[in-house]
Amino acid sequence: MIDVIIPVKGRPEKLKVALDSIYNQKFRDFTITVVNDHSTENDRLEISKLCQKYESICEISLIDSIGSGAAAARNFGFKNTSNPYVLWFDSDDILLPNKLSHDMSLFESNSYDFVVSRAQHLVDGKLIDQFWGELPHGNKGAFHFPFQTMCALLSREFLMKNGIIWNEDNLSNDDWEFSNTCVLMSDRFAFSNVTTAHYNVPTSKSGSIGSSMNRIKIESQFNAITNITKLQKKLGYKHGLYSRLRILRHRIYLLRTCLKNGYYLYFAKSLKNLF
């Protein structure tokens, strides 16, 4: 019933923790598809061995992405699966045992396009009182990040009907753009305050991807804001004053980060995106 799609690039030791958290789910009707995103030969071998160990206890397959980057791997996994519900899940995060059962119970309670439950932040192995999973309060012109990748269980029919895919041109903040697109394209979704996952916050110690604000991440955030704003305007939604100020503040932050990191040419190029 559920396709769990996991893009992975190296880090087989983290993938093992992720797979364990899926195997421990109370809801058992799922298929796992691990999508290798051009790992090194040695890491690819370790990932393959790990998947083979799980073959005897759950339905799992390993495929190699033909594109490059997490977004391309997620899309490739989607194209190569067919179950009616989809959960994308990053290899460095953890699902709690209630994740799939809780989200499926929401789906069964109404005719939703997708459902979202919360993920608690895990910083260098310690849980803190911060969460992904934000209720947009019906304001589709707002500037926000509604959910992190593993928070949402989605209907394949909804995604295909609306042509929603991960933006492969946005190499770092594709999840920001994807989550907003889902909210903007649907009036039938549910948010729950129940915690069903742990999000491994990128830090210098965590080994997670995206722990530093490099040029790619800065550019991706600029692009995500622009693309989300364009879709909002296309659908007839407008930013309120608060959202406009939040966007301006974040763009100033990105420009200051450009200067701090010495990305002077990109700073000059990005000034036009300030307003």
Q: Of 148, 174, 200, which closes a domain?
A: 200
Is residue 16 assigned to a domain?
A: yes
pLDDT, position 95: 97
Query: What region, left, alpha or beta, does residue 236 occupy, with left being phi > 0 and alpha being psi -120 to 50 degrees?
Result: left
> What percent of the chain has pLDDT above 90?
60
Domain membership of residue 62 (yes or no) is: yes
Residues 180-190 have pLDDT tens digits of 999 999 989 99
**pLDDT of 6:** 96
Percent above pLDDT 70 for the chain: 94
pLDDT at 133 (0 to 100): 80
Q: Decide: residue 60, CB within 10 A, 0-12 exposed, 13-18 middle, 19+ buried.
A: buried
CA 164/CA 252 separation, integer angstroms = 30
Q: Which range, of 61-65, 134-138, 156-160, 211-215, averages the lowest pLDDT?
A: 134-138
Which domain, by its residues, includes 75?
2-200
pLDDT in tens, 210-220: 556 788 888 88
Torsion (CA) 16, 21, 26, 28 in degrees, nearest 10: -40
Domain tally, the chain: 2
CATH of the domain at 69: 3.90.550.10
Indicate if 227 and 195 belong to the same structural domain.
no
Inside any domain, residue 255:
yes
Residues 125 and 247 in one domain: no
Does residue 259 belong to any structural domain of this protein?
yes
Same domain for 138 and 244?
no
Instruction: Output the six-digit token pair for 176.
Output: 């920001």
User: Do the domain assignments include residue 207?
Assistant: no
Q: What mean pLDDT, rounded, does the chain reach?
A: 89
19 and 83 within one domain:
yes
**28 and 76 assigned to the same domain:** yes
Do residue 147 and residue 261 come from a single domain?
A: no
Across residues 36-65, what is the average pLDDT? 93
**Whether pLDDT at 274 is above 80:** no
Q: Looking at the structure, do residues 192 and 224 belong to the same domain, yes or no?
A: no
What CA–CA distance (Å, rounded) separates 275 from 264?
Answer: 19
Please indicate, yes or no, whether residues 147 and 225 belong to a single structural domain of this protein.
no
Q: Mark whether 147 and 94 lie in a shared domain.
A: yes
Residue 205 lies in a domain: no
- Which segment, 5-9, 11-15, 204-208, is predicted with the most confidence on average? 5-9
* Together in a domain, 225 and 190: no
Q: Are both 147 and 220 inside the same structural domain? A: no
Is residue 206 one of the residues assigned to a domain? no
Closest to 23 in 3D by CA, of 52, 60, 49: 60
Instruction: Choose the final residue of a domain: 165, 200, 235.
Output: 200
Residues 155 and 251 in one domain: no
